[in-house]
Amino acid sequence: MTDTAQYRKGLIYGLLCYCIWGLFPLYWRLLDHVGSFEILAHRMLWSAVFMIVLFVGIRHRSIKKSIHTFRQWMGLLLTSVLISFNWGLYIWAINHGYILQSSIGYYINPLVNVLLGYLFLHERLNRAQSVALLFALAGVLYFTIDYGHFPIISIGLALSFGIYGLLKKKMGLPATEALTVETIWMMPAAAAFILWSYNSGDSALNSFDALTWILLLAAGAVTAIPLLLYGKAAERITLTDLGFLQYLSPTGQFLIGVFVYDEPFTTAHIVCFACIWTGLAIFSVDALKPKKLVKNVH
């Protein structure tokens, strides 16, 4: 297959990935009658089952060949906790009417990545990146002052996913193997919670509602598929292209929050989004510079 064909294929994978993530509020709101912790437990358990089946089916080799030290296993335990927290906070926010705050978090995330790279990976911030971060900070500060409380959901989502990505980058482990181990770490607690809820009669599964059962069981595939599409896209297109596509996800969440679920869009939201979008525009234009265009080839 030619490089052009591979590139187009990578764009399709990336578009599918971020469009799926952008539509996530619609999926989780179908389960708003289920407790957030129970949804999270099913998401954790069935993601693990999906990844194990996929890994066995496509890899045919031992995980230990790629992940073989105690430090690596403990590192993946930590990233498992972080991504579980991120998933849980996101589900809770969606099902409690905070879709806009969630989208703010994922708009901020690329800028948080830059900040974490500066603080922990000794990556230098150029002038454009510094200005972009200041705009994002100004938006969050205005939102906090005008809205009356700190946007804990936005910051929690951005920081947890940013630190998760930082740790994964520092470990440098194969994506499929790492995700499989992370979900395996999740399994015991998730399975225990589901069994406890079911036996106590508090589980949504006690109602024998077929649609709820299907949605909870499908949560693993819904979680894992976009992550796998992201990995395939990263193999074929530039990091700059991925950076631009990333904005599709919070934009989808934002539009769903305003036009589907009629969340209030106040002056504080307008100023906050305007500052963040301005920062992202500066960040994106800077990313187009030739020195940034590095092909991610494996």
Torsion of CA 282, 285, 160, 150, to 10 degrees: 20
User: Two tokens at 202?
Assistant: 């508090």
Question: pLDDT tens digits, residue range 154-176?
Answer: 999 999 988 998 898 788 788 78
The band of 88, judged by pLDDT with boundaries at 50, 70 and 90, is very high
pLDDT for position 61: 63
Nearest-angstrom CA–CA distance, 170 and 162? 12
pLDDT for position 146: 80
**Residues 128 and 78: beta-carbon distance below 8 Å:** no
Question: pLDDT tens digits, residue range 186-202?
Answer: 999 999 999 999 899 88
Question: pLDDT tens digits, residue range 114-128?
Answer: 788 888 878 777 888
**Domain extent listing, the chain:** 3-292
pLDDT for residue 296 is more than 70: no
Nearest-angstrom CA–CA distance, 233 and 239? 10
Dihedral (CA of 77, 83, 87, 93) sign: positive
Average pLDDT over all residues of the chain = 85
Nearest partner of 137 among 161, 154, 121, judged by Cα: 154
The band of 151, judged by pLDDT with boundaries at 50, 70 and 90, is confident
pLDDT for position 294: 42
DSSP result, 104-122 = HHHHHHHHHHHHHHHHHS-
Question: pLDDT tens digits, residue range 234-282?
Answer: 778 765 577 667 788 888 999 999 999 998 888 888 898 899 889 888 8
